Amino acid sequence: MNYYCKILSFITRKHMIYLNQTYELLAGGFHSGNRTWNKQHTEIDNCFKLYHLTEGNVHVCSNLDDFMLEKGKTYFINGSKLSKQYCKESFSTHWIHFLPKDLMIYLGLLELPAVVEIDSNGFSLIGMEKYINILLNSTEFSSWEYVLSIMHVQALIQTIITRLIMNYNISPTSTKIYRLEPAIHYIHVNYKTNIHLKELASICNVSPNYFHKMFKLTFRTTPTNYIILLRMNSALQLLRDNRLTIKEIAFELGFTDNAHFCKTFKKYYGITPGEYQKNKNKM
């Protein structure tokens, strides 16, 4: 029996293991700002962020502390614990915003402090914007370039998360979170449609009130705001595609009218969809 046949024989005797620790890339790239960069916490901040400053510094605040992010260092930001972000002079940063699709990892990261400085030995955010650009503008690149970009971004996030979990000895244990998994999966597949609370509760075999309470305690946001977060993520990507009008994007994302979409987008990002399209390469 040759080596290849031995491997196949071994596989057939074992259970196949599905590696499902993947991530939702919300946004990312390279950004320069100044003292006008002053952001209060909104629902769009309820994600996880990676920053690496190459110039200047910025301040990231929780309800308890004011952290100054310094040039040349890499940071993990627990967005759910932010109160505001601001800059006193100017800065430049490489950045990524993401959400884990795996519920256990999501909850584990929620346990982390608002700001964690990361030992960046062995990886770097610098240069990742080219891969993020390919993912956010997928129609302009080949399928192979897209796949390779996914691998680069996934590998970076996975490396950072592994170090964080090991360093902080994170181990979520609540059995209640497993009841939410079917609903989370359903939301990620169907967030562009009109999803009702009763529908999500039914998937998890609990009452709507209990589901809403359990979801908010677990994710520190409501099911509605979690869905809007995913929609706003998609909005950023769709607005980079000049083939669709803002009105078409609004309906694609499940909004009943264009005005509602524009109002929601401005609430989350501080600018209108039209302004984002004009300045997308600077953000």
Domains of the chain: 26-123+157-168 (2.60.120.10), 175-282 (1.10.10.60)
Residue 176 pLDDT: 64
Please give the model's pTM, rounded to 2 decimal places. Answer: 0.70
Widest distance between CA atoms in the chain: 69
N residues, the chain = 283
Residue 13 pLDDT: 47
Q: Residue 69: enclosing H or E segment and its boundaries?
A: strand 66-69
Residue 175 pLDDT: 59
**Distance (Å, rounded) from C-alpha 258 to C-alpha 26?**
22
Number of alpha helices (DSSP H) and beta strands (DSSP E) in the chain: 11, 9
Measure the N-to-C terminal CA separation of the chain; round to a whole number of Å. 57
Residue 174 pLDDT: 58
Residue 282 pLDDT: 47
Give the residue from 78, 69, 86 showing the smallest Cα distance to 46.
Answer: 78
**Distance (Å, rounded) from C-alpha 150 to C-alpha 70?**
28
Give the residue from 230, 264, 268, 190 showing the smallest Cα distance to 23.
Answer: 230
**Distance (Å, rounded) from C-alpha 189 to C-alpha 44?**
19
Which residue has 């969809």 as its token pair?
A: 273
Tokens of 54: 């190459």
Give the residue from 79, 81, 85 showing the smallest Cα distance to 48.
Answer: 79
Beta bridge partners of 25: 98
**Distance (Å, rounded) from C-alpha 117 to C-alpha 140?**
35
Q: In what order do the strands lie in the sheet with 84-86?
A: 38-40, 84-86, 58-61, 66-69
The residues, any chain, with a CB within 8 Å of residue 110's CB and separated by 6 or more, are 78, 80, 219, 220
The residues, any chain, with a CB within 8 Å of residue 239's CB and separated by 6 or more, are 246, 249, 273, 276, 277, 280
Residue 5 pLDDT: 53
**Distance (Å, rounded) from C-alpha 11 to C-alpha 2?**
15
CB-hemisphere CA count at 13 Å for 72? 0
DSSP string over 218-253: HHSS-HHHHHHHHHHHHHHHHHT-TTS-HHHHHHHT
Residue-level pLDDT, tens digit, the chain, 283 residues: 554 454 445 444 445 555 556 788 888 889 899 998 888 887 778 889 999 999 999 999 998 899 999 999 999 999 989 999 999 999 999 999 998 877 778 888 988 999 999 988 888 999 898 998 888 777 778 889 988 998 999 999 999 999 998 888 877 655 567 788 889 889 988 999 999 999 999 999 999 999 999 898 887 789 998 898 889 878 887 887 777 899 999 999 999 888 999 999 888 777 889 888 876 544 4
**Distance (Å, rounded) from C-alpha 113 to C-alpha 116?**
7
Beta bridge partners of 51: 75, 95
